[in-house]
Amino acid sequence: MSSSYVHGASDIPLLGETIGEVLARIVEREPEHDALVIPYQQVRWSYAELARRVTDVAAGLVALGLEPGERIGVCSPNNAEWVLLQLATARAGLILVNLNPGYRRADLAFALNAVGCSTLVTAATLKTSDYIGMLYELAPELARCEPGDLHARQIPSLRWVIRLGEEQSAGMLNFGALAGLAQPEHQQRLSALETELQFDDPVNIQFTSGTTGKPKAATLTHHNIVNNAYFVGLQMDLSAADRMCIPVPMYHCFGMVLGTLCCIAHGATMVFASPSFDPQAVLRTVEAETCTVLHGVPTMFIAELDDERFGDFDLSSLRTGIMAGAPCPMELMKHVIERMHLREITIAYGMTETGPVSFQTRIDDPLPRRVGSVGRVLPHVEVKIVDQQGQVVPRGTQGELLTRGYNVMRGYWNDAGRTAAAIDAAGWIASGDLAKIDDQGYCQIVGRSKDMLIRGGENIYPREIEEFLYRHPKVDTVEVIGVPDEKYGEEICAWIKLRSGEQASAAEIREFCRGKIAHFKIPRYVKFVDSFPMTVTGKVQKYIMRERMSEELADAQASSQGADTCG
């Protein structure tokens, strides 16, 4: 019997290029082809126009005095500025740090300090979030300093804050002013950098986490994400004839690697329907721009199919795309193929630390394969499934999935200990996911060995929420788990033991969280308990908690008496 080891053998070589070199190659090949289309910003740029604007912004960053290797954070919804920054930082040798626009003060301060960001580019607002106000609270020194001369006690590395929009804010530079700062010497320095930058240089930091608590800063190189974008695009048969609607957020690898960078690697057109996900805007834009590719997590496709105006839009131009971030039910896949015309849609699997994809279905895989598996290993990537002793298991046997190859991250920023714990001496990185591989090489994800839960495509780490809830004066002990949810895949549930003599409500707990942690981290369900199921050695048995909550919620739903407080 063969072992559960697969290698994506391929006669197509890896690309030995930086992001800037990939862009330059495509611009030379397709200068007048549509590169970026954003109707809500009146943006319709050719590849030549995009490259010109990227050069101007990159030279502007050089004019600020930023040196290769410095970290520049971006906190923004999807827009043209995000794409310009993604490409300009890569051209200037800077490391782009993705910040979730759902972050609140504590999340933002931690992320900026963890990697020592010298610069932050931020939107002014999004929905109910006031980023400018948040920054003045975190760094009140901003209101009294000149742009570029910030010395903030709580964020000591931060010097520049660059804001989007036309309004002026004390202590901040406007993004629109960047391009005008560049002088001939800055353009010359940018040209020189093209000969100095290497494809193994770090170019992007994305925050991920685990059961040990604080988020970890996964550091990705040009080589990691350029090649992942290129080979993922090959699996979709992507070309300059394709127009990709990208409703997934750019702060995820899904948006910036499988979305924009994937398009650039193949000369396709990037299309943004709205700043943040809006199902009707997606449908309208797909029709108006005759998009051929559509990405999304399952909940996005559900929302699009359920939109009251779904039948009003012509989606017949659609062909392929990626569904990832959570398991895809068979019925959803059928509807996506039949009603949305996505007959060649693919399923992808991976993690941030592997840039991100390691498995993907092919466009001609039969439907059961596109639902019952995450496909076969990508070219030039190795995967093995091992038991608890680290031994490779036979095909069809469950074990933990490990990955090795060009796509494995450089490491966790400035954290040799956690990097060594994640990547072994042979270069394998453990996923924490339980999987099995069949005789044809198709991989099925069967569970997670770690506590991470996925809500609507968002990776959520219980320890972060637990540590925050411990700040509540009435909370004695708290354990956070994920429970099944039809819409989001999983929802957050907090089991809380209160201090002696205290009383609280679920609404009070959620209100305590609101505005302080990201909205998607706020527990939907709160259960007050006197104790937790424990092992004989005193460890909390979260799997028992999940089983009990799943039963309680199912019973509540059956009796039509479900509520957000259980027990």
**Percent of the chain scored above 90 by pLDDT?**
75
The second-level CATH assignment, the architecture, of 1-18+222-450 is: 3-Layer(aba) Sandwich (3.40)
> In 236-322, where does DSSP find H-type helix?
253-255, 262-266, 279-288, 298-306
Kindly write down the DSSP assignment for every residue of 136-173, as one continuous string.
HHH-GGGGGS-TT----SSSTT--EEEE-SSS--TT-E
Which pLDDT band, with edges at 50, 70 and 90, does 4 fall under?
Answer: very high
Task: Report the alpha-carbon distance of residue 344 to residue 323 in Å, rounded.
Answer: 11
d(CA 381, CA 359): 9
Q: What gap in Å lies between CA 423 and CA 409, rounded to an integer?
A: 9
Burial of 265: CB neighbours in 10 Å, binned 0-12, 13-18, 19+: buried
Q: For tokens 């397709």, what's the residue? A: 30
CATH of 453-558, one of 3.30.450.20, 3.30.300.30, 3.40.50.460, 3.40.50.10860: 3.30.300.30
Q: Which helix (H) or strand (E) holds 349?
A: strand 344-350
pLDDT band at 210; cut points 50, 70, 90 = very low
CA dihedral 60, 66, 67, 69 (to 10 degrees): -110
Judge whether residue 535 has pLDDT over 60. no
Sequence-distant (6+) residues with CB within 8 A of 515 are 104
pLDDT score of 438: 96
pLDDT in tens, 54-83: 999 999 999 999 999 999 999 999 999 999
Topology agreement, domain 1-18+222-450 and domain 19-31+45-197: yes
**For residue 556, pLDDT beyond 90:** no
pLDDT of residue 213: 54
Task: Give Cα separations from 310 to 34, 328, 341 (angstroms).
Answer: 27, 20, 13
- Residue 561 in this model has a pLDDT that exceeds 50: no
Q: What is the pLDDT of residue 447?
A: 65
Mean pLDDT of the chain: 92
Stronger pLDDT, 420 or 540, i.e. the higher one: 420
Q: For the chain, give every domain's residue range.
A: 1-18+222-450, 19-31+45-197, 453-558
Q: For residue 561, what are the contacts with CB-CB under 8 A and spacing of at least 6?
A: none
More confident call, 107 vs 185: 185
Statement: residue 461 has pLDDT above 90: no
Helix (H, G, I), strand (E, B) or coil at 372: helix
Strand 357-360's sheet: what is its strand order? 43-46, 34-38, 269-271, 243-245, 293-294, 320-323, 344-350, 357-360, 376-377
Which tens digits make up the pLDDT trace of 338-375?
A: 999 999 999 999 999 999 999 999 999 998 898 889 99
Pick the CATH number of 19-31+45-197 from 2.40.50.140, 1.10.357.10, 3.40.50.980, 3.40.50.2300: 3.40.50.980
Residue 329 has pLDDT above 80, yes or no: no
Q: Tell me the pLDDT tens digit for each residue of 270-296.
A: 999 999 999 999 999 999 999 999 999
**Separation of alpha carbons 529 and 526, rounded Å:** 10
- Amino acid found at 201: D
Phi, psi of 283 (to 5 degrees): -60, -45
Q: How many helices (H) and strands (E) does the chain have?
A: 18, 29
User: Which of helix, strand or coil describes residue 509?
Assistant: helix
Higher pLDDT, 477 or 197: 197
Percentage of the chain exceeding pLDDT 70: 96
Determine which of 243-252, 382-391, 476-485 has the lowest per-residue pLDDT on average: 476-485
The first and second tokens of residue 200, run together, are 């193994």
